[in-house]
Amino acid sequence: MFEATTILGYRGEFEGKKFAIIGGDGQVSFGNCVLKANATKIRTLYHGQILSGFAGSTADAFCLFDMFERILDGRKGDLVRSVLEFSKEWRKDKYLRKLEAMMIVLNKDFIYILSGTGDVVEPEDSKIAAIGSGGNYALSSARALDKFSSLAPKNIVEESLKIAGEICIYTNTNIKTLELE
């Protein structure tokens, strides 16, 4: 199975301005081998208004992206309504319920984790979410840096992903980020 990890989403307010950032490493693994070290697993959706990233099976992740993007277009970019519709549609299709991928979707106001089993989870703090093999490392790092540092949000995402890349064998430090201005 292909593994495509690690993704970190972060939203909030910094210096009086709302922000949303997503970052991901570049590693795609096949078993215990690195298949690709510079993959892009993050992208914008709905005319650049929504950030997204995936972890897990690449083919399944593209299926998730396509389905969610279709719903998002139908809901005119309304993220909350789109994630609820996503969950409802998911339950109707037996094939889709077994996808081995997850996504993070966010804008400046909301952040959600979408699973390959149709679950929609809003992070406990409604601010930071991480998925993939190195997700817990990146999440822990981001929470600590958010709470105890004065780093800019983009630096928090990059440093947290670097820490995950130094710990998790399925994550590297070839980091890419996207921001909503």
> What residues are labeled active site?
5
User: Which residues, at least 6 apart from 46, have a Cβ–Cβ distance to it below 8 Å?
Assistant: 69, 72, 73, 77
β-strand 17-24 against 176-180: which pairing, if any? antiparallel
Euclidean distance between CA atoms 12 and 177, whole angstroms: 16
Please, are residues 39 and 175 in contact by the beta-carbon 8 Å criterion? no
- Residue 135 in tokens: 């997700």
Q: What are phi and psi of 140, to 5 degrees?
A: -60, -45
User: Which residues, at least 6 apart from 19, have a Cβ–Cβ distance to it below 8 Å?
Assistant: 10, 11, 12, 13, 108, 153, 179, 180
Interior/surface letters 67-89, b for 16+ CB within 10 angstroms, e for the rest: bbbebbeebeebbeebbebbbee
Asked, as a colleague might, if the bond just before 5 is cis with ω within 30 of 0, I would say: no
